[in-house]
Amino acid sequence: MFKDDFKKQFDDISLDRDTKERIKATLEGVETKAKKQKNPAVPWRIGFAVAAALAIVLSVALGHFSRLPSIAPEISDKETVLIRSQSYGDIYKALEEIRKSQMRDEEEITYEYDYEYVEESDDLATTTPTTSAVAGAVGSTESMSDSAADGSFKGSSAQSYTEKPEANGEEEYSETNVQVEGVDEADIVKTDGKYIYNLRDDTVKIIEANSGSPRLVSTIALPLDSERYYFEMYLSDNTLIVLGSVYKKFGSSIVTDRLATMDMVVLEGDTEFIAYDMSDPASPRLIGSYSQSGEYNSSRMIGGRLYILSNHSVSLNNMKKDDPKTYIPTLTNGKETVAMAPECVMSPSCGFENASYLVVCSFDAKNAELISSVSLLGSSDTVYSSTQNIITATARYDGEKEHRQYTEVSRFSLADGDITYKGTGMVPGYLLDQFSIDEHNGYFRFVTTEDVYKEIQGTTAKGEGSSASSSTQKVTDGESTASYTVGSDDAVTDNESSSVSKYIKYTVTTQNGLYVLDGELNPVGNVSGLAEDERVYSVRFMGDVAYFVTFKQVDPLFSVDLSDPKNPKVIGELKIPGFSEFLYPYGEGQLLGIGVETDDSGRFRKGLKLSMFDISDPANVTEKDKYVLDNAISSEALYSHKACIVHEGKNLIGFTADFKSATAKGNTYVLYTFDGGFKELMRVECDEFSPKRGLFIGDVFYIVSAHSVHAFSLSTYAEIGAVAF
């Protein structure tokens, strides 16, 4: 059993004694903050009430799971229309409805998460073809964009790299690898070409690059009152923005119920940013801070305007009608906390089932002031932004009828900080990540993977062996994905006399598609049903052409012509072993893939792989060259585009790699160039530190870790300087 093996194997992992002792020794020196709050600020009575109520929420939600293939419906009406709320009263009423319906609907908690559902009548034995059904190509994960790992790289088709004009004597330097040119994405390391900013835990280290002799010039100690976490930052015209979460009531009450415990741990989180004026990097000056309700999901910076998206859950049982702050998202500017105006809150016309809000705010980075805010009853997983629009996407299920998955997408226009909600639509299936979304000429395009459930009713005759089976089996070679097609009904009647059992079986296969929506997010065109039993691994839109990679055993790279939005067409398909997790435009007619090389069976991973595709003719894509890093088993570059530098102008491709044989304690940083073929420039084994990011300024390459910055010459590739902190 998976569960047992998993437990056993994970039990085997533990901190070794030395490490434990070392950490304990460090902990000895840590002091509880002076401002220690005397135990529970909240009377336990309240905690208990919350506990009881949440238990009910749990039973309702899980109640759905006891039904069929365990996919619960979240909203049944896809034609949801969102309307501006007239008053707090309206919103309160709607939330009350949710609360009441949850109270009414009490069901036993049976949590079964089984894909395969076999309904037996009679004494159907085990003769039913055992399907390992579901398995297959369903998986994917990068898509539920880890908010923090939500990335960036440059420009769809354009050469996005920020090549800073060397006009005023400034050296060229690399910036965070972002998706859309002109739309910056937050990261843990930022540079302005002179200074390197390094965010780690609750400090920002400012390091002067100093042409290869880096030196620490200042340190910002971020506020630590209440429980705070800092995730990533922006640097814009001498303004440093640090994004984080603040948990004001973190763990501050006594609760007895497990779920209520979770609630206390999580619910109070706000997303906050702090702005510093860095005109003098040696002495950062605090500008101000601002926070909005909800867990941090993603953010963008466009022309000095900061956009922050968070997901806020309402604690239904703590709502007070005359205190909107208890059920409306709030904004705090450092001094006062106000509930968002009712007209800023969009709610579905037909009621809604999830008591959560998606909060989108825009700020003027320079002075940390709010420009506008919009909230939507709902939530968001994946976030895409062009310079004009933000698209949010949330995975949904329609479980009652067809067990289909779909993704709800919403559009917000930005207009220099003035955010306006423009509509909601849907596409079948689910998205991989932000690169699965694109805007071009007023159309919005989405590449999705869809799990398709098939209900199979059949009968099996007992004792007759396989000949009696009414199902024909179609097992895809060697894969655990299997799909069964039902044979003709005649087969059943033949066996009427013997004891016949009926069964209903659900199997899952996957397929992929590309959907084009208009500005109101109505469907315009699509091409679907691609690459059955495979799933999308990476996507890149480049103007009128979309490229995406699906994978099961070999890696087809599809090219789709989108010049007629109503009629997208697959124009090319290239099959090679392995797969690419990310695709980056790399110069004229070239597309770089970073992924994994596998053997022919698709099961054994040989190592990380760089592929250069020739896309000068989208209908006839070829793999120009590939480079396999043998025994490199993992890399952050497989999960986050921000972890790599892909700079076509300077012809550099760099990322960290984790080698299997590593006796090294840290990771390795590798740097490549492409000139007809890949060439390794550097392979730095980082024994004493764990490299996180690479960047260049002029002719110096910097490897940045939590505790150091190392400088390397880009002509000799030798280390020329370092600073530890």
- Give the footprint of other proteins on residues 354-393 (CB under 8 A): 354, 356, 379, 381
SS3 368: coil
411-440 residues near other proteins, rule: CB under 8 A: 430
Distance CA 384, CA 392 (A): 6
Position among 137, 309, 376, 536 found at the interface with other proteins (CB under 8 A): 137
* 52 is a contact residue toward other proteins (CB under 8 A): no
Position among 162, 293, 392, 481 found at the interface with other proteins (CB under 8 A): 481
273-302 residues near other proteins, rule: CB under 8 A: 295
Q: Per DSSP, what are the bridge partners of residue 187?
A: 233
321-360 residues near other proteins, rule: CB under 8 A: 354, 356
556-595 residues near other proteins, rule: CB under 8 A: none
Nearer to other proteins by Cβ, of 51 and 697: the residue is 51
The mark string for 82-111 relative to other proteins (x by CB under 8 A, - otherwise) is ---------------------------x-x
φ and ψ of 318, to 5 deg? -110, 15
* 401 is a contact residue toward other proteins (CB under 8 A): no
SS3 644: coil
Tell me if 626 sits within 8 A of 611, measured CB to CB: yes
Residues contacting other proteins: total by CB under 8 A:
123
Query: What is the maximum span of the chain, computed from C-alpha positions, in angstroms?
Result: 91
* 9 is a contact residue toward other proteins (CB under 8 A): yes
191-250 residues near other proteins, rule: CB under 8 A: 198-203, 224, 227, 229-232, 245, 250
Nearer to other proteins by Cβ, of 68 and 414: the residue is 68
The nearest distance, CB 508 to other proteins, in angstroms, is 8
* 550 is a contact residue toward other proteins (CB under 8 A): no
Distance CA 158, CA 180 (A): 9
Buried b (16+ CB within 10 A) or exposed e, 464-481: eeeebbbbeeeebeebeb
Tell me if 242 sits within 8 A of 204, measured CB to CB: yes
* 692 is a contact residue toward other proteins (CB under 8 A): yes
* H helices, E strands: number in the chain: 6, 45
The nearest distance, CB 477 to other proteins, in angstroms, is 12
Q: Enumerate residues 6+ apart whose C-beta is below 8 A from 124.
A: 118, 460, 462, 501, 502, 503
Nearer to other proteins by Cβ, of 459 and 483: the residue is 483
Distance CA 689, CA 572 (A): 44
Tell me if 577 sits within 8 A of 601, measured CB to CB: no
* 176 is a contact residue toward other proteins (CB under 8 A): no
Kindly report the number of other CB atoms within 10 A of residue 62's CB atom.
16
Distance CA 390, CA 131 (A): 42
The nearest distance, CB 68 to other proteins, in angstroms, is 14
DSSP 8-class letter at 523 = E
Distance CA 610, CA 613 (A): 10
* 254 is a contact residue toward other proteins (CB under 8 A): yes
* 126 is a contact residue toward other proteins (CB under 8 A): no
The nearest distance, CB 553 to other proteins, in angstroms, is 11
Distance CA 388, CA 279 (A): 29
Q: Which stretch binds other proteins (CB under 8 A): 163-171, 359-367, 473-481, 489-497?
A: 473-481
Nearer to other proteins by Cβ, of 244 and 565: the residue is 244
526-545 residues near other proteins, rule: CB under 8 A: none
Q: Which stretch binds other proteins (CB under 8 A): 53-61, 341-349, 435-443, 453-461?
A: 53-61
DSSP 8-class letter at 604 = S
* 33 is a contact residue toward other proteins (CB under 8 A): yes
The nearest distance, CB 352 to other proteins, in angstroms, is 12
Nearer to other proteins by Cβ, of 194 and 665: the residue is 665
Nearest alpha carbon to residue 540 among 507, 562, 567: 562
DSSP 8-class letter at 340 = P
* 262 is a contact residue toward other proteins (CB under 8 A): yes
Position among 466, 472, 473, 480 found at the interface with other proteins (CB under 8 A): 480
Please, is 517 exposed, middle or buried when counting C-beta atoms within 10 Å of its C-beta (0-12, 13-18, 19+)?
A: buried
Tell me if 157 sits within 8 A of 180, measured CB to CB: no
The nearest distance, CB 393 to other proteins, in angstroms, is 11
* 78 is a contact residue toward other proteins (CB under 8 A): no
* 261 is a contact residue toward other proteins (CB under 8 A): yes
Give residue 420's identity as a one-letter amino acid code: T
Please, is 136 exposed, middle or buried when counting C-beta atoms within 10 Å of its C-beta (0-12, 13-18, 19+)?
A: buried
SS3 153: coil
The nearest distance, CB 60 to other proteins, in angstroms, is 9
* 622 is a contact residue toward other proteins (CB under 8 A): no
SS3 10: helix
Distance CA 561, CA 618 (A): 8
Position among 207, 241, 264, 278 found at the interface with other proteins (CB under 8 A): 264
Position among 99, 190, 396, 411 found at the interface with other proteins (CB under 8 A): 396
Nearer to other proteins by Cβ, of 132 and 651: the residue is 132
Nearer to other proteins by Cβ, of 208 and 381: the residue is 381
